[in-house]
Amino acid sequence: MSIISFNTLTPGLVGVNPRIVQMISTDNRATITAAGYLNRQGQVLEGFDLYPTDEIHIIYNYVASTNTGTFGVFLPNFSNGLISLNLNQSDAVWFDITATAAALATAGKVVVQPSFGVQQYKVRDIRVNYAAAGLSGGGGNRLLVLTDGTTVYNNAGITAAVLGTPVNTLWGGTGNPVAGTVAQNTLTAPGANLYLQYSGGTTDYSTGSVVISVLVQRSV
């Protein structure tokens, strides 16, 4: 496990700050953000000085055979002679997802959070939004779950009653259950998309839509 490449200088911009530094590493996020990681790798000792004003663009978890990895933007912190890297992005993001009858039909999946490489997420909130009308028609009676294909984050799913007549409903409120026999903070499977999909019932809805707000927090 190591740093594959590290570049701090752009031709013609020597001495210009702030800089965007580029790095590729086969190490994981926990390793690259440990205090002293860059010191131990010898980058500073080899003339690649970092500055507090630098913004470091890193591809970590890099796999050379597939030329893939996980991208993140980090800021360096200097303390007691050690350099540590801090993620310069919000780990938590809200998504307002419109799930239509057409997109959900025939076991359709409405992706909430796509994943790449080994990225994993925790689901922090699921909310149903009010609408004058929701999913309806065709004798539909499905429930709607949020899942990564391994873990279901709202137990049996948002009920048909709430999907048909959407009201503002917090996670754990009537018709919008919390997870069942799994911990609420269970990580999604590495590289798995998080999506909405029908579950339960026997018949798909034929028309309409419902808006679900989901808060996810990236952990890996």
Q: What is the pLDDT of residues 151-172, one digit of tens each?
A: 999 999 999 999 999 999 999 9
CA atoms in the 13 A half-sphere facing the CB of 215: 11
CA atoms in the 13 A half-sphere facing the CB of 106: 1
What is each CA distance from 28 to 24, 56, 66, 135, 218, in whole angstroms? 11, 15, 16, 42, 14
Residue 63 contacts by C-beta under 8 Å, 6 or more apart in sequence? 26, 69
pTM equals 0.71
| Residue where the block lists tokens 């065709």 | 138
State what percent of residues in the chain have pLDDT above 90: 63
Asked whether residue 5 carries a pLDDT value surpassing 70, the answer given is yes
Name the 3-class secondary structure at 175. Answer: coil
Asked whether residue 12 carries a pLDDT value surpassing 60, the answer given is no
* Spatial separation of the C-alpha atoms in residues 109 and 107, rounded to whole Å: 7
